A and B are shown apart, each in its own frame.
Chain A
Amino acid sequence: AQRVTQPEKLLSVFKGAPVELKCNYSYSGSPELFWYVQYSRQRLQLLLRHISRESIKGFTADLNKGETSFHLKKPFAQEEDSAMYYCALASGGSYIPTFGRGTSLIVHP
């Protein structure tokens, strides 16, 4: 069975500080990993996916198969990054993502 673990319920940083939201997964095959974000009063939306290998709003995430991790990183946090972040996994052949419990990121001025 596939599983996604986000160990931190809350992450609080100051503006300009680096931020890393942790995500670990368990799946024996080749996973598809995603980060979704929900800003205040907005819909949950896709932030990035590992196969795209892109940086969105300054965020990057690298799939580390050895550590089974897909941590989300940003070198300099901004106040507008404050949101709830969900890591998700979709296994090969199953298009249904499994979500972690989410991490609330608060960026203080």
Chain B
Amino acid sequence: SQTIHQWPATLVQPVGSPLSLECTVEGTSNPNLYWYRQAAGRGLQLLFYSVGIGQISSEVPQNLSASRPQDRQFILSSKKLLLSDSGFYLCAWSRRGAEKLFFGSGTQLSVL
């Protein structure tokens, strides 16, 4: 069966520090991968998605970047965190050509 792992579960970082959130998928090949941010009252905002290794599409301009160094690994990064980067980040995957998403457990990021 397929599983998705996301870590860490919680993270507290000072403003200006770097960020690296990691997401891995097991039990499937060539998944589509996604990073969403979940903010209270604002719903789920798509940040990045990837259809293959090294292929990243950004949905919104921001302080964050994403990379896909391996088929089932998706990384969300920042060189310098801003206060506004605080939020709940969700990784998700789907099969090719399918809209159903499978979500990770999320990372609560607090930038202080």
A56 close to B (CB within 8 Å):
no
B94 close to A (CB within 8 Å):
yes
Of the listed stretches B21-29, B61-69, B71-79, B98-106, chain A binds B98-106
B112 close to A (CB within 8 Å):
no
B32 close to A (CB within 8 Å):
yes
State A44–B96 Cα separation when bound (angstroms): 20
The answer to whether A49 and B46 have CB atoms under 8 Å apart is no
- Smallest CB separation, B50 vs chain A (Å): 11
The answer to whether B43 and A96 have CB atoms under 8 Å apart is no
The answer to whether A43 and B100 have CB atoms under 8 Å apart is no
Interface bracket on B: 20 to 34
The answer to whether B43 and A86 have CB atoms under 8 Å apart is yes
8 interchain residue pairs of minimum CB distance: A101-B43, A99-B44, A90-B99, A44-B103, A43-B103, A102-B43, A95-B99, A99-B43
Q: Give 23 pairs: A residue, B residue, CB < 8 Å, sorted on A.
A: A6-B43, A32-B99, A34-B99, A34-B100, A43-B104, A43-B105, A44-B44, A45-B102, A46-B100, A95-B32, A95-B96, A95-B98, A95-B99, A96-B49, A97-B99, A97-B101, A98-B46, A99-B36, A99-B43, A100-B43, A101-B41, A101-B43, A102-B43
